[in-house]
Structure 1
Amino acid sequence: MQLTAQASPRTGARDADGMAVASFVLGLLGLLVLNVFLGPIAIVLASVALWRGTARRGRAYLGLGLGVADLLVLVAFMQLDSTPSWSF
């Protein structure tokens, strides 16, 4: 008896939905800590989720916006401190 793993047709969409949610959560978390890392990750995850046709488009767009906001917050604090990084 041979067992083969077959992906259901919904697996790719479910993965894209998970990426959309993950981008939103990481983008939101990135506003508080590690925005230099979490911002770009949120942007990439949201872009891939939208490219794969996620059913959670709103969440993906929020993750994309929050990822960009993470980087803007980083740039704003770098300008205020005149340093390459910032801390609380």
Structure 2
Amino acid sequence: MQLTAPATRRAGVRDTDGMAVASFVLGLLGLLVLNVVLGPIAIVLASVALWRGTARRGRALLGLGLGVADLLVLVAVVQSDGTLSWSV
């Protein structure tokens, strides 16, 4: 049993590292397109990765910050334009 426990734990750490990187990438993309969808997904992925103890804590925090920034950009655009869609 001792041989399978570290392998299982390592796979869990890799999953949380992947979630941290995915939250960063989705948060970054959300600043450009689909911020109403990608922002909340980035926030959830970053929160789960941080809660599970990812080794890539910085990426998860950046993903969390970018997800919040996505929603702030959406609020600013809605306030200025009055619609949920925007173009560059």
Structure-2-length-normalised TM-score: 0.88
Instruction: Tell me whether 1:86 sits opposite 2:77 in the alignment.
Output: no
Kindly report structure 1 stretches of 4+ aligned residues shifted beyond 4 Å. Answer: none
Per the alignment, residue 3 of structure 1 pairs with none
**Using the alignment, how far apart are the partners of 1:37 and 1:84 within structure 2?**
12
| Structure 1 residue 87: Cα displacement | 3.2
1:68 maps to 68
Residue 83 of structure 1, CA deviation: 2.1
TM-score (norm 1): 0.88
**Shift in Å at residue 82 of structure 1?**
1.7
- Separation of aligned partners in 2, 1:27 and 1:42: 5
**TM-align CA RMSD:** 1.3
Matched residues, number: 83
Q: Percent same amino acid among aligned pairs?
A: 83
Partner in structure 2 of residue 24 of structure 1: 24
Q: Which has the higher helix share?
A: 2
Tell me, which stretches of 5 or more residues in structure 1 are unaligned?
A: 1-5
| Alignment gaps of 5+ in structure 2 | none
Q: How far off its partner does 1:84 sit?
A: 3.6
Could you tell me how far 1:71 is from its partner in structure 2? 0.3
